[in-house]
Amino acid sequence: MLSFIWMCLIGLVAGALAKLIMPGRDPGGIFITMLLGIAGSIVAGFLGRTLGWYREGDSAGLIMSVVGAILLLWVYRMFRKGSTAG
């Protein structure tokens, strides 16, 4: 249970830092920001294992979680921009 709470707190911090680095009109409050950070951690862990930076079972750190969340925000904005153009 404590690891789940820790994951949520780190996800919240990572998501908030990603939104601070990439300001914009993105939807969501505290829960969406937390999910963004958690998803960023998952993406960063997957990319890190693919590139050989992490071994199987290693989790991404805070900095890589923020990078993963920034990547997800960028992808979201690209899809949002493409859907409103036409």
What is the spatial distance between Cα 18 and Cα 41, in angstroms, rounded to a whole number? 12
* Residue corresponding to tokens 């958690």: 38
Query: pLDDT below 50 — which residues of the chain?
Result: none
pLDDT at 63: 86
pLDDT at 65: 86
pLDDT at 41: 85
- pTM tops 0.85, yes or no: no
- Residues counted in the chain: 86
- Structural domain spans, the chain: 10-17+30-85
* Residue corresponding to tokens 């153009």: 85
pLDDT at 42: 85
pLDDT at 84: 63
Beta-carbon contacts of 35 under 8 Å, excluding residues fewer than 6 positions away, are 11, 15, 28
pLDDT at 85: 55
Smallest CA-to-CA distance from 12 within 33, 41, 28 is with 33
